[in-house]
């Protein structure tokens, strides 16, 4: 059985300019496995029938998931400017992007992400909550992640039935919602324990 670092629990905060009545709150739990994978569990509480939840689709990479209800994580090695972004749709689709710095695409990182193991995504829908669990494999993490403390930005987008979007994150550091702001990556995960 693998030892785990965590879990780290977090309550996301709604950007004050994007509140929608259908969402009461979003919580997340993040765990790092001894062999490097990251397990995420998101819990959106509210009136789920008043949200636009994408219907189940074949799993695979798809761009622009953030335009609808989805859950996200931004992962960086502690202190590094480079980071990876992952989007998880309740439909089962996902996206992965590599950045060398703030919104600067990284060609080498993008090649790495083109061959990663697909994240495992499980979604459960209830009248009063939407749950999504995702596992990101170690091969999808930024270079150097295996032995480093990671800094994460955990976030979500909720789309109301009238098309308005609500943006949630650990913190908001700009006047407009911007999950790429490096100083919002405030959840730390320790390096997995070394085994002899």
Give the CATH number for residue 18. Answer: 2.60.40.1190
Q: How many domains does the chain have?
A: 1
State how far the Cα of 93 lies from the Cα of 56, in Å rounded to an integer. 8
Asked if residue 194 is part of any domain, the answer here is: no
Q: What is the pLDDT of residue 41?
A: 98
Asked if residue 85 is part of any domain, the answer here is: yes
Rounded to two decimals, what is the model's pTM? 0.93
The structure tokens listed for 135 are 């596992």
Quick one: residue 112, left, alpha or beta (phi over 0 = left, psi -120 to 50 = alpha)?
alpha
Nearest CA to 79 among 10, 7, 144, 154?
A: 144
Asked if residue 196 is part of any domain, the answer here is: no
Q: What is the pLDDT of residue 107?
A: 87
Is-contact 19 37, C-beta < 8 A?
no
Q: What is the pLDDT of residue 34?
A: 76
Is-contact 192 32, C-beta < 8 A?
yes
Which structural domain range is residue 131 located in?
Answer: 4-189
Q: Provide the residue-wise pLDDT of the chain in tens; the chain has 196 residues.
A: 233 345 689 999 999 999 999 999 999 999 998 778 999 999 999 999 999 999 999 888 999 999 999 999 999 999 899 999 999 999 999 999 999 999 999 988 888 888 888 899 999 999 999 999 999 999 999 988 988 999 999 999 999 999 999 999 999 998 999 999 999 999 999 887 664 3
Q: What is the pLDDT of residue 109?
A: 81
Asked if residue 195 is part of any domain, the answer here is: no
Q: What is the pLDDT of residue 193?
A: 65
Q: What is the pLDDT of residue 130?
A: 98
Asked if residue 13 is part of any domain, the answer here is: yes
Asked if residue 183 is part of any domain, the answer here is: yes
The structure tokens listed for 83 are 């980071």
Q: What is the pLDDT of residue 127?
A: 94
Strands (E), 61-145: 70-77, 83-88, 94-101, 104-105, 120-125, 129-136
Asked if residue 10 is part of any domain, the answer here is: yes
State how far the Cα of 81 lies from the Cα of 182, in Å rounded to an integer. 8
């Amino acid at each position: 059985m693998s030892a785990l670092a965590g879990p780290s629990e977090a309550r996301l905060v709604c950007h004050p300019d994007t509140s929608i009545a259908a969402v009461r709150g979003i919580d997340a739990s993040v765990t790092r496995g001894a062999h490097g994978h990251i397990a995420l569990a998101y819990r959106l509480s509210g009136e789920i029938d008043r949200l636009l939840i994408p219907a189940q689709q074949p799993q695979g990479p798809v761009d622009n998931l953030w335009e609808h209800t989805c859950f996200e994580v931004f992962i960086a090695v502690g202190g590094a400017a480079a980071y990876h972004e992952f989007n998880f749709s309740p439909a089962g689709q996902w996206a992965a992007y590599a950045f060398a710095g703030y919104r600067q695409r990284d060609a080498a990182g993008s090649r790495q992400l083109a061959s990663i193991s697909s994240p495992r995504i499980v979604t459960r829908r209830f009248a009063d909550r939407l749950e999504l669990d995702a596992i990101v494999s170690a091969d999808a993490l930024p270079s150097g992640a295996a032995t480093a403390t990671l800094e994460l930005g955990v976030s979500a987008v909720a789309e109301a039935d009238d098309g308005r979007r609500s943006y949630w994150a650990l913190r908001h550091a700009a006047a407009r919602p911007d999950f790429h702001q490096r100083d919002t990556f405030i959840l730390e995960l320790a390096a997995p324990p070394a085994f002899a």
